[in-house]
Amino acid sequence: MSDGHNERENWGSRIGFILAASGSAIGLGNIWRFPYMVGMNGGAAFLVVYLLLVATIGATVMLGEFALGRRMRKAPVPAFWQASGTHTWTLVGWMGTIGGSFIILSYYAVIGGWTLKYIVASLQDLMPQAVEGQSRDVFNHFVGSPTEVIAYFLAFMAMTVGIVLGGIGKGIERACKVMMPLLFLIMLVLIARAVTLPGALQGLDFYLRPDFSKLTWPALLDALSQGFFSLSLGMGIMVTYASYIRDEEHLPSSVAYVVFYDSLAAFLAGLVIFPAVFSMGLEPTQGVGLTFIVLPGVFARMPHGEIFSALFFVLLFFAAITSSMSLFEVTVAHGMDDLKWSRRKSSLVMGVIITLLGLPSAASLSGSPKLWGMDFLSAMDFLSNHIILPLCAILTCIFVGWRFLDRAEDEISNHGTYRFKLLRAWAWIIRIVAPVAIGIVFYKGLF
């Protein structure tokens, strides 16, 4: 135990931590964005490059965040403050806490609310409407009704707060231990259904056919930024989760598991989506359109479609809520570590603030409010993912690589107990390769 922090909560088990961190990583991004990116950017060729990037740069940054979090045993703001002793570096902790936890959660939970609505709708009259080709109208009607969207958003936030209120072991870990295995199980059921549909092969062909000519520069940048978002990096999340890891755990192998599960979930999602979409003769698209508009149309044409549709949205709900918990834990830990609040007080106060901030996003798809010419939800997404996240990720790498390296290496080797063979390579990636690569993505994303 590090001295002086004997009361800090810990994950109950190694697998509990791995499932919680994977729960954070596996989210809406894996299911609605990743498969489409693979399909459009060269199939299997893109997949190989993506895996290489996450296994090198992504895993490196995750290991850096784990080392910082476990060493300092604090939420990001106090962790950066104590590790650096300067206000300047502490700003990086603030960027993660405000940019990640506050801003992302405020709109992520709105989309989480949509998944709840679609579970209910699947079992009610979504299927008959979708079979008539009306799923776009159903979606537009729903997101255009602020009262209903807000009601589901509140329900989703209440669940997130309720789980995090339970604490690390009894709240987040317990929930992830139930939800993550179920998520993979549902995925397997849906894959079995999708690949046995007539014409499924065409979908597999679109998804996986290697086409090296499509492996362009922008495609590589896409792969890298998707990798960061997908692994929940650059937002202080992994710093926070790692602050509850026991001292004896070996960090590099935990990283390997989380990267593996996250990539597996993303890959499997494509095996559900493309065979199903192609077999029904529909067009693949990405984002909201695919998940909430095209897929209900696909399910509606299958026997027992309502069951597969409900299962799919349960899967999406699990993916979303296990990510929301991690976003929320960053702020709750901030209240506890920096402001010395109890977990209860912190969860309730932060829950109310984030809910208030989410209301404009929830209402915004009905036409207003707008910000920078976009609906409020998209504006929040842009601000957090295109600006705050990459900046915070670059600065975290620079800090860990240049200011914290000895302490990080000591933490990674468990104070000399293990020899991590890739330590030298790790250090150079986090010092130079990762900041430069993320810097290029950041620049290209803005200009």
Amino acid at 390: P
Minimum CB distance to ligand PHE smaller for 60 or for 160: 160
Q: 413-428 burial, b for 16+ CB within 10 Å, e for fewer?
A: beeeeeebeeeeebbe
- Judged by beta carbon, residue 235 or residue 271, the one nearer ligand PHE is 235
Smallest distance, Å, CB 8 to ligand PHE? 22
Q: Which two tokens stand for residue 229?
A: 């978002």
**Residue 326 interacts with ligand PHE (CB under 6 A): yes or no:** yes
If the CB atoms of residues 238 and 300 are measured against ligand PHE, the closer one turns out to be 238
Whether 239 contacts 79, CB under 8 Å: yes
Q: Which residue in 220, 112, 205 sits closest to 440, CA to CA?
A: 220
Helices 59-72 & 389-398, crossing angle to 10 degrees? Answer: 70
State the nearest-atom distance from the C-beta of 266 to ligand PHE, in Å.
Answer: 8
- Cis peptide leading into residue 128 (ω within 30°): no
Please identify, using beta-carbon distances, which residue of 28 and 110 lies nearer to ligand PHE. Answer: 28
CB proximity list for 185: less than 8 A, separation 6 or greater: none
Please report how close the Cβ of residue 280 comes to ligand PHE at its closest, in angstroms. 26
State yes or no: residue 435 binds ligand PHE (CB under 6 A).
Answer: no
Nearer of residues 90 and 232 to ligand PHE, judged by Cβ: 232
Q: State the minimum distance, in angstroms, from the CB of residue 4 to ligand PHE.
A: 30
Rounded distance between C-alpha atoms, residue 53 and residue 214, angstroms: 17
331 binds ligand PHE (CB under 6 A): no
Q: Which residue's CB comes closest to ligand PHE?
A: 27
Q: Which residues contact 314 (CB under 8 A, 6 or more apart)?
A: 119, 186
Q: Cα dist. 151→77, 241, 263 in Å? A: 32, 30, 33
CB 155 within 8 A of CB 322: no
Single residue of 29, 112, 390, 435 touching ligand PHE by CB under 6 A: 29
CA nearest to 420, candidates 206, 204, 254, 172: 254
Q: Closer CB to ligand PHE, residue 118 or residue 229?
A: 229
**Footprint of ligand PHE on 304-323 (CB under 6 A):** 323
Pick one of 20, 28, 72, 302: the residue that binds ligand PHE (CB under 6 A). 28
Residue with smaller CB distance to ligand PHE, 323 or 355: 323
Is 104 among the residues that bind ligand PHE (CB under 6 A)?
Answer: yes
Instruction: State the nearest-atom distance from the C-beta of 306 to ligand PHE, in Å.
Output: 26
**Residue 60 within binding range of ligand PHE, rule CB under 6 A:** no
Residue showing tokens 């090198």: 56
- Name the segment binding ligand PHE (CB under 6 A); options: 27-35, 116-124, 139-147, 310-318: 27-35
Residues 260-289: x where in contact with ligand PHE by CB under 6 A, - otherwise, as a string: ------------------------------
CA dist., res. 189 & res. 194, Å (int): 9
Pick 225 or 323: Cβ nearer ligand PHE: 323
Cβ distance 355 to 157 under 8 Å? yes
- Both tokens of 159, joined, read 């669940």
Closer residue to ligand PHE (CB): 323 or 361: 323
Handedness of CA 69, 71, 73, 74 (dihedral sign): negative
Q: Compute the least distance from the CB of residue 200 to ligand PHE, in Å.
A: 25
Q: Judging by beta carbons within 10 Å of its beta carbon (0-12, 13-18, 19+), is residue 192 exposed, middle or buried?
A: exposed
Minimum gap (Å) between residue 219 Cβ and ligand PHE: 19
**What whole-number distance in Å separates Cα of residue 405 and Cα of residue 411?**
10
According to DSSP, residue 287 is labeled: T
- What is the number of other CB atoms lying within 10 angstroms of the CB of residue 357? 15
Which residue, 239 or 302, is less far from ligand PHE as judged by CB?
A: 239
Q: How many CA atoms lie within 13 A of 217 on its CB side?
A: 5
Q: Which of 18, 20, 23, 30 binds ligand PHE (CB under 6 A)?
A: 30
Structure tokens at 108: 């992520």
Q: How far is the CB of 303 from ligand PHE (least distance, A)?
A: 31
Ranges within 190-249 binding ligand PHE (CB under 6 A): 229-230, 232, 235, 237
Task: Report the residue number, 37 or 280, with the smaller CB distance to ligand PHE.
Answer: 37
| CB of 237 vs ligand PHE, minimal distance in Å | 5
Closest approach of Cβ 362 to ligand PHE, in Å? Answer: 18
Residues near ligand PHE, by CB under 6 A:
24-25, 27-30, 104, 229-230, 232, 235, 237, 323, 326-327
